[in-house]
Structure 1
Amino acid sequence: MTGLDDLRLLRAFVHVAESGSISAAARVLGLTQPTLSRRIQALERSVNAPLIRRDTHSMSLTETGRVLLTEARMLLAMTERVEHKLAAERHGLQGHLRIVSIVDVGQWIVARTLAHFQAVHPEVTAELHLLNRPTKFVEEGFDCGFLVGEPTDQNLVMRPLVKLPRILVAAPSLLERHRVPEKPEDLAGLPWLGVLQPHFEARSRLLLLSAEEEKEIAVVPTLLLDTVTALRQAALAGAGFTMLPTWMVGEDLAAGALQILLPDWNLTDIDLCVGYASGRHT
């Protein structure tokens, strides 16, 4: 069993991330600090990477930690949903789970998370539907969903799961043909890649935030794509400047296939939520 299959370790990690300290999380969980620290260390050994940066006065998550936090919250949400829907047997949970997700989050995160979930509950079968259209949970028989944006189904209850940060990026080949933006206003007039999903971005305006101010910049998309995965491919090909979620481009940045732009400016995060049909949640 790996750390990702050990819900005890994942719950400990989520509590530490949400509490902001080992000591605060230990009090909530009713554990000693050394015991909780050992669980975090066991999880770090399992994923072979540090999850938390620690200094004298504060702690923060590493990039691996931020990605794992998203998956851990998904795993725990799936477990909660299964425990409420399916009958608990002596040797574990059994039954079938219908899950829906927006396409890109489903492809990049939920599918992998489901594999870990079924390692914990091998008697649970599941189906994952990837949709970028409004869903009717009751009519379509979904048990839970991983969604962004405002719910379009009045029978849907949304619970915040995690924030998904985004960054401005461009391929080196594109930066050879265009100037490197040094301030937000430099983005105006540059070829821009957009996505045909209003919950991921406004197609014509960007909101950028710094420590001192915020700026709204008008952009004109030269290419619009249906999924964020396709958007990434176009960005890698040098088709234009764009913004992409950090969990999607970590390897691209490490390999130099994409470069971060305007690092002192932040984009608004995407709120990923877990959704349940009303009456099926607690």
Structure 2
Amino acid sequence: MLYVRRMKHVHDRLDLLDTFQKIGESGSLSKAARLLGTTQPTVSRRLLELERLLGCKLALRTTASFSLTDEGRSLLVEARDLGDRWSGLSQRLKGGQSRPEGTLRVIGPSGYGTGFLTDAVTDLRAAHPALRVELTLTDRVLDLTAWGAECWVCVGEVRDPGLVSRKLGMMERVLIATPELLRKLGPVTIARLPQLPCVGLVPYVTGNVRMLDRSGRSRMVTLDTPIQTDSLLSSYRAILNGAGIGAAAPWMCQDDLKTGRVQRVLANWWLEPIAIHVALPPGIYRPARVTAFIEALKARMSALSGFRPSS
């Protein structure tokens, strides 16, 4: 009987944490109540009980506003992790694979969001209607855990040692420019490239870059980038406006190459391919929604022009 009571206490506290997670993620007691299929007074009572158990204020609420305290934001991160661990334990003990469900939070580059990244998300939702997806597009380096995200699709190496990274493959990059700009510049050679205006994409296409030719030779070139941006879309827009020679992945510029809106520059040379990774929070357990998303993303990316998937 004592064992049953203890298990009930554990279950009750897990319910309190689940309620708090819904409150923190939805941003209001009423929305959390709808998500949980209960009433707002019940949600409010659970929040007060959790605050009593922990001995601290988790949320600041008035009739007009609601926000988490520093302690509340910290607990929200822990509650998500605990919820995933509990789901993983339950899944392993049952000996089966859970279906993708819940809310998947993904962070990715803005330039990818207008293409294959959004395609992968819609593919995933079509295959798993019970799943919800929140896709945040940004070209900044973010704290994955603080954002409560489970996946970060990133260009280049993952420098945060606290994250687990999986290499999806290598993306080729070619130099392009508008025909009008190329007529003004005259013949472009690898030797002349440092003297010509280029559009910089920080931190990937700026300063010294490595160029490769068809024979496998490599050459370091210092680019002159009077215009620099950290946005892939902004960089490509500047190239289309004739602001300079710039770099783009084949999948991004292939339609404009076909119509003649842009042309290849130094057709026998290309920039060193860059790795594409997906970064994940540390931990052994991966929710089924994360695995399903990675598979959907790999399927979309494998069809991209200029992308070489990892084996």
TM-score bracket, shorter-length normalisation: 0.5 to 0.7
TM-score by length of 2: 0.58
Query: 1:34-91 deviations in whole A, cap 9, x for unaligned?
Result: xxxxxxxxxxxxxxxxxxxxxxxxxxxxxxxxxxxxxxxxxxxxxxxxx979979999
Q: Distance in 1 between matches of 2:89 and 2:105?
A: 11
Deviation at 1:281, TM superposition (A): 5.4
Correspondence list, 1:77-92, <5 A: 92=99
Which one-letter code corresponds to 1:206 in the other structure?
Answer: V
1:257 aligns with 2:261: yes
Aligned match of 2:233: 229
Identity %, equivalent residues: 26
**Structure 1 unmatched ranges of 5 or more:** 1-82
In 2, Cα distance between equivalents of 1:184 and 1:86: 59
Report the AA paired with residue 223 of structure 2.
V
Aligned length: 196
Distance 1:168 1:92 in 2: 43
Q: Which amino acid aligns with 2:199?
A: L
* CA spacing shift, 1:125–1:85, aligned 2, 3 Å: farther
Deviation at 1:206, TM superposition (A): 2.5
Question: Is the aligned partner of 1:103 residue 2:106?
Answer: no
1:119 corresponds to 2:122? no
Higher Rg: 2
Alignment equivalent of 1:190, drawn from 196, 199, 203:
196
Distance 1:281 1:207, change over 3 A: farther
Could you tell me which amino acid in structure 2 is paired with residue 125 of structure 1? Answer: R
> How far does the alpha carbon of each residue in 1:193-222 deviate from its partner, in whole angstroms, 9 at most, with x for none?
102x31x23x12231112152211222111
Structure 1 match to 2:210: 207
d(CA) in 2 for partners of 1:157, 1:239: 38
Contact 2:208 2:222 in 1 (8 A): yes
Query: Which of 147, 163, 168 is matched with 2:154 structurally?
Result: 147
1:243 aligns with: 247
2:275 corresponds to: 271
Q: What's the Cα RMSD here?
A: 2.6
In the aligned structure 2, how far is the partner of 1:90 from the partner of 1:157? 22
Contact kept, 8 Å, 1:207 with 1:216, in 2: the verdict is: yes
Deviations 1:246-273 (A, max 9, x none): 1110111011001011111121111111
Aligned pairs for 1:6-25 (under 5 A) are: none
Q: How does 1:166-177 map to 2 (within 5 A)?
A: 166-177=173-184
TM-fit CA distance, 1:189: 1.0
CA–CA separation in structure 1 for the residues paired with 2:88 and 2:254:
35
Secondary structure of 1:222 counterpart: strand
Change in 2 beyond 3 A, CA 1:238/1:255 = same
**CA 1:90–1:279 in 2, change beyond 3 Å: closer, same or farther?**
closer
* Amino acid corresponding to residue 132 of structure 2 in structure 1: T
Structure 2 counterpart of 1:272, which letter? I
Shift of 1:175: 1.2
- From 159, 164, 170, the equivalent of 2:171 is 164
Contact between 2:109 and 2:137, CA under 8 Å: does it hold in 1?
yes
How does the TM-score come out when normalised to structure 1? 0.63
- Segments of structure 2 that go 5 or more residues without pairing to the other structure are 1-86, 287-311
Q: Helix, strand or coil: the match of 1:268?
A: strand
Distance 1:91 1:233 in 2: 43
Kept after mapping to 1: 8 A contact 2:171/2:249 = yes
Q: Which residue number corresponds to residue 178 of structure 1?
A: 185
Shift in Å at residue 108 of structure 1? 2.3
